[in-house]
Each structure stands twice: as C-alpha cells, then as structure tokens.
Structure 1
C-alpha cells in the first residue's frame, strides 16, 4: 500500500493503536496529522514520523467535541 500524496488524520494518535497506525501510514508515504488530547505525546509521535522522513503535524483535540473535530479536519 503506497500512500504518497495522501494525508491521514489519526485521532488518538499519541499512543497505543492510534500511534501504531500513524507510524504505519507514514512508512507507506502518507503525511500524517496526529490528533490527541495529549498534545505533548502527539508531538512525540510526530517526531518519530519525522525521523522516518515523513511530514507530520500534531493537533490537540477531542473527537467528542464537535468544534475540536471540525478544527482537526481543517488543519489537515
């Protein structure tokens, strides 16, 4: 699966399954937006993605909050 030119928005991407998915998509060439309520950990995941040579951005957000969810999509 090659994802060059695609952008992936991963919610809960700071740890666990979300983090693993973010890293896997980056390895396949996607630019990744990592969203989580823990911005510091989301930024840590982004640094790992950058070390793979891919672009990544961290966004603080809670998908249970409609405004946060809308903001995540706009920043992607």
Structure 2
C-alpha cells in the first residue's frame, strides 16, 4: 500500500478524477439547472473515472512512443 501512495501515476489519476468530476458537475449544472448533484453523483464519478483512465492510458502510450521511437523515425 505504501508503494501505491508513493506512485505519482496514482496521485495524478486521483487528481485528474476529482478535477474531471468537478468540471462534469459544473457542465451538468449549466445544462440541467434543476438537477442536484445527489441525483447525478454516481454518473458524474463514473464519467470522471472513465476520463481519467483514458487520459492515463493515452499518456502511457504517448510516453512509450516518445522514448521508444520506431526504426523509421
């Protein structure tokens, strides 16, 4: 568990998830002003986690491609 807490990817994932949840909640409040956060809580967190996973995987492949270029480049 302590190695997980020392992992910067873990903290970036947590911060990205929280930031995405805040932004998604703000967008939902703009689009649907009558709906409270409690009604959308699970939806907001699910979308935020999916966005964070997609961003983390994209960063992983981007960094791998930059550090290990193909022979043709």
TM-score by length of structure 2 reads: 0.29
> In proportion to residue count, which structure has more helix?
2
Relative to its length, the structure with more strand (as a share) is 1
Taking structure 1 as the reference length, the TM-score comes to 0.28
